[in-house]
Amino acid sequence: MSNKNASPALEQLRDQAIKNRASLEGKTLILVGTATCGRAVGALDVVRVFREEIERLQLDAAVIEVGCMGHCYAEPMAVIYKPGEPGICYGYLNEGIAARLPQDYLVEGDPCAEFALAAMEVHEYIPTFQDFPRGLIEQKAVMEHCGYIDPENIENYLAVGGYGSLAAALDRNPSEVIGEIKDSVLRGRGGAGFPTGLKWEMCGGSQEKTRYVICNADEGDPGAFMDRTILESNPHLVIEGLAIAAYCAGAAKAYFYVRAEYPLAVERIKKALQQAEKLGIIGKSMLGTKYSLDIEVFQGSGAFVCGEETALIASMEGEPGLPRHRPPYPAVAGLFGKPTVIDNVKTLSYVPLIIKNGAGWFRSIGTEKSPGTAIFALAGKLVNTGLAEVPMGTTLSQIIYDVGSGIAGNKKFKAVQIGGPSGGCLPEETLDTPVDYESLSKAGAMMGSGGMVVLDEGDCMVEIARFFLDFTQKESCGKCTFCRLGTKHMLDILERITKGEGRPEDINLLLELAEDVRAGSLCNLGKTAPNPVLSTLRYFRQEYDAHINEKRCPSLMCKDLIAYYILPDKCERSCDACVGSCPVEAIFSNEDRIKVINQEKCVKCDSCLVACPPQYRAVIKVSPPDEVLRREKGVK
């Protein structure tokens, strides 16, 4: 199949791309991150203001929309490359700052260090990203170009060496390429960790001529957004990986299965595919070889279970997304009964890098059994939330304290939830656990797809378990009885506990049900559904006991077990902040002008607690609710 002319063809395209980019030379470049995370906080307004200012000042500059660098906490962000100076990255932008920067920096030469996040290279008085603890731990492989190249312009990707691995792969036999991937020990990044090369080989070795390759971008885990960011920031990387996978598996048709909630990702993939087809990189006789591949985008319809590969296939066949028994694995009999390779977005993103740098390079990163990097979506109560790419084997505490800069608001760390609804909550004593497939499973969580939600002392672990069970219970497809009814019963029990109606025998009942649901479910949705309950019971049993025996929520979170109370000795009297903030007019002034909450009217919306000025902090939460009565009567 190989005829060794793909690489020269690509070389030509790359030269052309570099030549076309030459028009940007000598210009100031302003890169603004406009992935979904940036757009949500006004990045498009920032782009508009930059363009207006450049127009007004008649500057020789170009504003380019790029993806996300992973520092989502500081969005909207922009990197300004002024010719002859190191690039400077600005964070927390708004229209006002964006209106100032072109005048101050580009015209008058003041780099406005007060708005700068970091410099891209060594700078006189702005530190670089490498000067922060985060910079030392992070190792960007997949995300190397995210946030630096224009995802909607293929020439950007070609100029940084893009599609070189596809050309190199096309010039080799599929078996050689598979050998390289197997040699790298790349494991599926969707969560299960199946060796990728083996999967391709199974499909490629099939007698059946029609085969399919699917990129699984149905990222449904609440708290995970790695796939979205990669697709929005560097779609061509994933397309390249998908094309290599298709070549190795001998497929003529490939699909992107993207969830419906990611409209921007869908738009950018479609645009990227069009551009690649136009240049002859994808499509009929790719890069002048005999190999042809058609790639199509299929949009999911909002069912979490469709992230499971057999359910995903069912939904593409126009059926409700019910998983089926494995074996036969999709690599043997998948879409329309044909051999099908299904790989996660991140897995496919590593493929071009392994082809380019070799299997040895990949194995040199991370641990022996889990080589490479891991991408985590950091969310929850961290100072710096966002996306982090770290080598496998990095410890949890390094990720939370060095990359995420610790817990926000001077609160205490309580737990970290890893792996979404299938994962578990790990407490402080497990923070030395290195992140790799085996260590995390041993600690009671799982690698999952990479969502990491950090919880502080104000988060109730029973409520967390209830939240995840509520999710899996709603998303259960209903095929297996234990998953459909077992999760419902577990949820009922947890709801009872969070309402203060728990019974002493509930905990044993939960444990029994968890075992049954795990044993009686076909797919991983059901098999792992009890994990959040089991891990919280394992590490935070005392919280369950407080809810059941004392009808008290130690973290002051469960609504039925708390009440809001205004401390009379702290209330400032002449301040009305809480009264104005209350949406149901439950707060009134007593004869001493001290504010009091009418507990019958209160909807526990938290507004008064937020509104009370920090110098008073008079509003507090108490649990159990009758604590208010006790305090009002003055009984200490």
Partner 1 sequence: MILTEEEKREAVEKSREILKRHDSSKGSLIPVLQEVQSVLGYVPPDAMQEVAGHFNIPSVDVYGVVTFYNQFRLTPPGKNQVKICMGTACHMRGAGIIMESWERVLGIKVGETTLDREFSLERVACVGCCTLAPVAVVNEAVHGKMTPTKVDGMLFSHRLANPKEKEEKPGE
Residue list 3-62, contact with partner 1 (CB under 8 A)? 36-37, 39-41
Smallest gap, in angstroms, from Cβ of residue 581 to partner 1? Answer: 6
Binding of residue 451 to partner 1 (CB under 8 A):
yes
Smallest gap, in angstroms, from Cβ of residue 142 to partner 1? Answer: 17
How crowded is residue 79: how many other Cβ atoms within 10 Å of its Cβ?
Answer: 22
Residue with tokens 């030459």: 22
Work out which of 386, 393, 434, 486 binds partner 1, going by CB under 8 A. 386
Smallest gap, in angstroms, from Cβ of residue 198 to partner 1? Answer: 28
CA atoms within 13 A on the CB side of 453: 20
Smallest gap, in angstroms, from Cβ of residue 253 to partner 1? Answer: 11
Mark 80-96 as b/e (b = at least 16 C-beta within 10 Å): bbbeebebbbbbebeee
Q: How far apart are CA 14 and CA 12, in angstroms?
A: 5
Choices 67-75, 131-139, 243-251, 620-628; region in contact with partner 1 by CB under 8 A: 67-75
Binding of residue 345 to partner 1 (CB under 8 A):
no
Smallest gap, in angstroms, from Cβ of residue 441 to partner 1? Answer: 20
**Which residue, 300 or 554, has its beta carbon nearer to partner 1?**
300
Three-class secondary structure of residue 80 per DSSP = strand
Q: How far apart are CA 425 and CA 433, in angstroms?
A: 13
Return the H-helix or E-strand segment holding 14. helix 6-21
Choices 80-88, 157-165, 257-265, 323-331; region in contact with partner 1 by CB under 8 A: 257-265
Binding of residue 349 to partner 1 (CB under 8 A):
no
Binding of residue 453 to partner 1 (CB under 8 A):
yes
Three-class secondary structure of residue 17 per DSSP = helix
Binding of residue 550 to partner 1 (CB under 8 A):
no
Smallest gap, in angstroms, from Cβ of residue 222 to partner 1? Answer: 3
Smallest gap, in angstroms, from Cβ of residue 605 to partner 1? Answer: 5
Q: 5: left (phi > 0), else alpha (psi -120 to 50), else beta?
A: alpha
**Which residue, 246 or 388, has its beta carbon nearer to partner 1?**
388
Q: How far apart are CA 388 and CA 398, in angstroms?
A: 11
Choices 85-93, 114-122, 260-268, 269-277; region in contact with partner 1 by CB under 8 A: 260-268
Binding of residue 72 to partner 1 (CB under 8 A):
yes
Work out which of 130, 173, 301, 481 binds partner 1, going by CB under 8 A. 301
**Which residue, 362 or 468, has its beta carbon nearer to partner 1?**
468
What's the length of the chain?
636
Question: Is-contact 10 163, C-beta < 8 A?
Answer: yes
Whole-angstrom CA distances from 609 to 31, 302, 588, 612, 636 are 39, 36, 15, 6, 23
Choices 23-31, 82-90, 187-195, 576-584; region in contact with partner 1 by CB under 8 A: 576-584
Work out which of 321, 424, 450, 526 binds partner 1, going by CB under 8 A. 321
Work out which of 477, 490, 525, 577 binds partner 1, going by CB under 8 A. 477
**Which residue, 83 or 478, has its beta carbon nearer to partner 1?**
478
Smallest gap, in angstroms, from Cβ of residue 477 to partner 1? Answer: 7
Smallest gap, in angstroms, from Cβ of residue 46 to partner 1? Answer: 15
Strands 61-66 and 28-33: parallel
Binding of residue 417 to partner 1 (CB under 8 A):
yes
**Which residue, 489 or 559, has its beta carbon nearer to partner 1?**
559
The contacts of residue 325 (CB under 8 Å, 6+ apart) are 522
The tokens for 601 are 């009217």
Strand order in the sheet with 451-456: 386-391, 373-380, 451-456, 413-418, 424-427
With vertex at residue 270, the alpha carbon angle to CA 264 and CA 272, rounded to the nearest 5 degrees, is 100
Which string of DSSP letters, residue by residue, matches 467-511? Answer: HHHHHHHHH--S-SHIIIIIHHHHHHHHHHHHTT---TTHHHHHH
Three-class secondary structure of residue 217 per DSSP = strand
CA 211 to chain centre: 30
What are the backbone angles phi and psi of residue 454, rounded to the nearest 5°?
Answer: -95, 135
Q: How far apart are CA 217 and CA 347, in angstroms?
A: 11
Work out which of 80, 178, 224, 269 binds partner 1, going by CB under 8 A. 224
Work out which of 138, 389, 459, 543 binds partner 1, going by CB under 8 A. 459
Choices 23-31, 94-102, 214-222, 569-577; region in contact with partner 1 by CB under 8 A: 214-222
Binding of residue 375 to partner 1 (CB under 8 A):
no
Residue with tokens 């060594």: 122
What are the backbone angles phi and psi of residue 67, rounded to the nearest 5°?
Answer: -90, -145
Binding of residue 73 to partner 1 (CB under 8 A):
yes
Residue with tokens 């599929």: 174
**Which residue, 13 or 461, has its beta carbon nearer to partner 1?**
461
Smallest gap, in angstroms, from Cβ of residue 439 to partner 1? Answer: 22
Binding of residue 555 to partner 1 (CB under 8 A):
no
The tokens for 331 are 């690599």
Binding of residue 76 to partner 1 (CB under 8 A):
no
**Which residue, 39 or 552, has its beta carbon nearer to partner 1?**
39
Site for partner 1, rule CB under 8 A: 36-37, 39-41, 72-73, 75, 219-225, 228-229, 260-263, 298-304, 315-321, 336, 377-381, 385-386, 417, 420, 451, 453, 455, 459, 464, 467-468, 471, 475, 477, 559, 581, 583-584, 603, 605-607, 610-611
